[in-house]
Amino acid sequence: MRVGIPRSLLYYKYLPFWKTFLVQLGLDVETSPLTNKQILSRGVEVAENELCVPVKAFYGHCMALRDRGVDAIFVPRVVSVEERAYTCPKFLGLPDMIGAVAGDLELPPLLSPRLNQREKPREFKHQLIEFARERFGLGRAAAVAALENARLAQKHYQQGLLSGRKPLDLLPTSRFNVPRRRPPRSQRRRIGLLGHPYNIYDGYLTQNLIARLEEMGAELVLPEMTDHRLLMQAATDVPKQLYWSYEKEIMGAVNIWTEKKMVDGIVYVLAFACGPDSLIQVLIEHRAREHRVPLMSITIDEHSGEAGLVTRIEAFTDMLMRQGRKKRTAA
């Protein structure tokens, strides 16, 4: 049985876990291609207008997997990944949204394990074990072994991120493009690239933002380079507990970067029509002003143009370079 994993949304966060788990269940796993014009256009045609662009792209990736002849598509229902918090509503309802158009689009069946540990820590283990036993007939010992191997694969991936590597360096064929040139290290500035993985690592949606920043002299700092527990601890420095786990990671990163003066500037990438991101944007901007760290927000959607993006990041990086030269002259 061939199972397809869409190269979108939580792909950039959990692919090693999902792929290893499914392979251990005896399945052949295939991922969709990098996002391109056709994939995004097809997704925009069938998705609701109110959805953010990463979700629209997800529809297109499902259709790309259908064209490749997979027997099923993996679309988990990720409700909660920690106690007393939720993921974004789009992850809660993703199997329903895709399922609603599956018949018209002639998509293969969906594999949608429910992952919810809002009430009990580590509850997802039992949910995945039951999924493996009920859906594929594995014994409990085999299901536990599959889960443990998946956990180890994810741990190895996270260790690579903590060492300073990017998801684009560690996930198979995930980089849209590579920097053609980079200034000498002495002329670079540390820029924190803030946002959800499915926003900042999808090179097509962001007009190859990572490579462009690196070409302009950015030494990138990413949220994934900090231990998850530290991000969660740092996210508590807000007036009220955040409801969304992945927004907590973003807030934790910006709090650590500004408190420890780890970056010279921050680029925050958010998707148009993303409610949780628009709410924490105010907190992020306040934090940056408080610590006098330059911040530029980039909002992406299916209409984002290359020229405007390049002009903005050129102006932002030039400003940071001038600040760096002034500091070196003053010293």
Q: Are residues 214 and 294 in the same domain?
A: yes
Q: And the tokens for 177?
A: 């493009």
Residue 282: how many CB atoms within 10 A of its CB? 9
Question: Residue 326: its pLDDT value, please?
Answer: 64
Per the structure, the count of domains in the chain is 2
CA-based diameter of the chain, in Å? Answer: 69
Q: How far is CA 301 from the centre of its chain?
A: 15
Q: Are residues 205 and 257 in the same domain?
A: yes
Question: Residue 46: its pLDDT value, please?
Answer: 94
Residue 168 counted as domain residue: no
**Full residue range of the structural domain in which residue 280 is found:** 175-330
Question: Residue 329: its pLDDT value, please?
Answer: 61
Question: How far is 222 from 211, CA to CA, in rounded Å?
Answer: 14
Helix locations, the chain, DSSP H:
11-24, 37-46, 53-67, 89-105, 123-136, 140-162, 167-170, 197-200, 209-215, 228-234, 245-259, 275-290, 306-330
Q: Are residues 55 and 146 in the same domain?
A: yes
CATH number for the domain that contains residue 236? 3.40.50
Question: Residue 120: its pLDDT value, please?
Answer: 67
Q: Residues of the chain whose pLDDT is less than 70?
A: 118-122, 324-331
Q: Are residues 144 and 196 in the same domain?
A: no
The residue from 162, 194, 212 where one domain ends is: 162
Cα 171–246–190 angle (5° rounding)? 65
